[in-house]
Amino acid sequence: MNSVSSNQSNISIQQGLFDAIKDLLVVNPIFLLGIIVICIMLIIIFKKNKTISKIRISILFLVFYYYLCVMLTNIVGIPTLSEYIRLSRLGEAFFNPNINLIPFSDGFSLSFILNIFLFVPLGFLCPLISKSYQSIKNTLLIGCGLSFTIETVQLFTLYRATDINDLITNIVGTLIGYFCFRFIHKLVITKSHSISDYKEPYYMRYMPIVIIVTTFILGFFS
């Protein structure tokens, strides 16, 4: 009987873990609209530039978009219209500041490490999408900008804190992602002259920002 109970307990834990992962990775159907926006962007880009790698850019755009959808809505948490409607019915305030401006006041925790890993894909994917972000300065700017925006909008959410530690760890995560890109770039990408000599259209530098803004807008209505 003890063996049976132990097996049932293990199955329950596995099912709970599976459900948690599924909830984390599944996004609101409203984000399908973002795929339409991205497809329109890609069509315009491909019409303007015939030499651009269609498959590579399409995959990168969609992966970057999906990463943002999961990160902003399922992990970080941003204000949503449905939440504001609920707060309005309860007579609660929309502005709920919970601010910590003292670095490392609570020491180091698991969330500290997770916040670093959260922004690693950003620092890695942006330089792949646009050569502009192969400059550490530009990658840092988009990492700082996104993190600062998240911390600012969390002033308008319940049960979320605007924390200087999050800003620091997000920047560290962006840098780690960027240096991972540089390492792989030296090993693999620079061996291909067709890629390294490719002259990128100027508007590609704005594509990550457009995708970020699109995700925020749809996230608000999710």
pLDDT tens per residue, range 148-178: 999 999 999 888 888 999 999 999 999 999 9
pLDDT digit string (tens) for 178-213?
999 999 988 886 555 444 556 788 899 999 999 999
Residue spans per domain, the chain: 2-220
pLDDT tens digits, residue range 60-114? 999 999 999 999 999 998 999 999 998 888 888 888 888 888 888 777 777 888 8
**Section 109-130 average pLDDT:** 92
Rounded to whole angstroms, the Cα distance separating 133 from 201 reads 13
Q: How far is CA 36 from the centre of its chain?
A: 19
DSSP string computed for 172-202: HHHHHHHHHHHHHHHHTGGG-HHHHT----G
* Alpha-carbon distances, residue 24 vs 100, 114, 134 (angstroms): 26, 14, 30
Other beta carbons less than 10 A from residue 50's beta carbon = 7
Regarding pTM above 0.85, the answer is yes
